[in-house]
């Protein structure tokens, strides 16, 4: 990442900030704000519905980092209060709300991971929880806020329109979400708000509310939703098409080598600082070389101390059917083994390769598990003491690059 460049000419700042942006409402407004020569207040809201992040979350965070590198202050708004409502953006049904305790617990992990990308400098980073201003609001305050926006305008949102047409219920609290999120921009006097393309409507509500409250309207910038490794849908942990922000360097490297070729331009543009002419040069060459450059760039960015050569060598070894040397080790106690051994499904769960015995058995039935390099097909099978006591233990493998070494404990 670049050093801070506070005095970069406005047009050069714009060129950096426009990179990868889908919607910019409006560029003229952003130019005028930059021309004032004062650090902008750049807001990104996040409802901490999950404690872990993936590279899809990194896209807006990287844009925040670019603002920081230009000397502007970014405000990471943790929606501890709005997460209790549940953002309906892009949803076909009501999303279950979380408790305040759940959102705040998730937020701690979320913040630690965000700081892998953002500069942790109080002059350039402000962290706020929107419960600060939303929780104290009384019923009269909510009524006044609701009076600022019409039902007709709220129902212009695409997902609400689709649900109405389909006869799918929309709860009243969901209609309040956009204005509640929009009020964050009023409370923070935001100059710019970032978000995914699915947040365009909500962010424009914030722009309109600021105008109603006598503030200069914020600029709205949206970024594309990163498509996952399946090449069809946005990156999501629930779809198992993701690369985790805290994945080990070798795991992240292997994941990036699997990015479908048509997605390479987006991954390069959104997740690296490489100049466009260098990106075009890579895309015109061999796809494997382009994947390698992408993997090395992204891993070096998120794991500055990583041994990139070792990560690449591990990937090559696994791609040739080999078993890497350094594997996570799971110690299985003799008590757990008992006289009849322990089920393979249980061992898969202990190794963290699947969340439940049922999912583990399904993995075996689908021929997705290897034991010591050989496909394992016994869904009800077990391993005994002799299997784990052998030199090197037993190595189980899910897919191409998720391994665990099982060894016998005392």
DSSP letter (8 states) at residue 150: -
Pick the closest to residue 406 from 366, 353, 365 (CA basis).
353
In whole angstroms, what is the distance from residue 229 CA to residue 241 CA?
Answer: 5
In whole angstroms, what is the distance from residue 193 CA to residue 200 CA?
Answer: 10
Q: How large is the C-alpha radius of gyration of the chain?
A: 24
Adjacent-strand bridge partners of 374: 371
Q: Is 387 helix (H, G, I), strand (E, B) or coil?
A: helix
234 is in an annotated binding site: no
In whole angstroms, what is the distance from residue 93 CA to residue 265 CA?
Answer: 33
Pick the closest to residue 270 from 250, 289, 298, 290 (CA basis).
298
Adjacent-strand bridge partners of 408: 332
In whole angstroms, what is the distance from residue 378 CA to residue 362 CA?
Answer: 11
In whole angstroms, what is the distance from residue 3 CA to residue 145 CA?
Answer: 41
CB 22: neighbour CB atoms within 10 A?
Answer: 12
Output the known binding site. 237
Output the known binding site for ATP. 237
């Amino acid at each position: 990442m670049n050093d801070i460049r506070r005095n970069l000419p406005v047009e050069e700042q714009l060129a950096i900030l426009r990179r990868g942006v889908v919607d910019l409402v409006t560029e003229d407004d952003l130019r005028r704000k930059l021309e004032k020569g004062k650090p902008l207040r750049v807001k990104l809201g996040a409802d901490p519905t999950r404690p872990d992040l993936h590279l899809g979350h990194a896209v807006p965070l990287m844009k925040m980092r670019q603002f920081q590198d230009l000397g502007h202050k970014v405000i990471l708004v943790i929606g501890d209060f709005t997460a209790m409502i549940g953002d309906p953006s892009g949803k076909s049904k009501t999303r279950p709300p979380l408790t305040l305790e759940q959102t705040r617990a998730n937020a701690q992990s979320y913040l630690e991971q965000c700081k892998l990308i953002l500069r942790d400098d109080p002059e350039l980073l402000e962290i706020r929880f929107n419960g600060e201003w939303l929780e104290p609001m009384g019923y009269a305050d909510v009524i006044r806020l609701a009076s600022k926006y019409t039902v007709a305008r709220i129902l212009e949102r695409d997902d609400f329109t689709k649900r109405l047409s389909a006869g799918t219920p929309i709860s009243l609290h969901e209609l309040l979400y956009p204005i509640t999120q929009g009020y964050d921009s009023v409370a923070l006097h935001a100059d710019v708000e970032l978000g995914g393309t699915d947040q365009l409507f909500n962010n424009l509500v914030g722009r309109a509310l600021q105008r109603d409250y006598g503030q200069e309207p914020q600029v709205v910038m949206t970024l594309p939703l990163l498509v996952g490794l399946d090449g069809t849908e946005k990156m999501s942990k629930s779809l198992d098409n993701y690369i985790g922000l805290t994945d080990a360097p070798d795991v992240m490297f292997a994941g990036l080598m699997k990015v479908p070729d048509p997605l390479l331009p987006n991954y390069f543009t959104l997740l690296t600082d490489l100049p466009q002419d260098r990106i075009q040069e890579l895309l015109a060459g061999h796809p494997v070389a382009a994947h390698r450059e992408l993997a090395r760039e992204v891993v070096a960015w998120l794991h500055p101390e990583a041994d990139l050569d070792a990560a690449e060598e591990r990937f090559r070894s696994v791609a040739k059917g080999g078993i890497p040397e350094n594997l996570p080790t799971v110690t299985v106690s003799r008590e757990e083994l008992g006289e009849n051994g322990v089920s393979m499904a249980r061992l898969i769960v202990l190794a963290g390769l699947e969340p439940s015995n049922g999912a583990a058995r399904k993995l075996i039935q689908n021929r997705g598990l290897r034991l010591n390099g050989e496909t394992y097909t016994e869904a009800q099978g077990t391993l005994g003491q002799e299997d784990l006591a052998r030199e090197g233990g037993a190595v189980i493998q899910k897919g191409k690059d998720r391994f665990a070494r099982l060894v016998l404990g005392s």
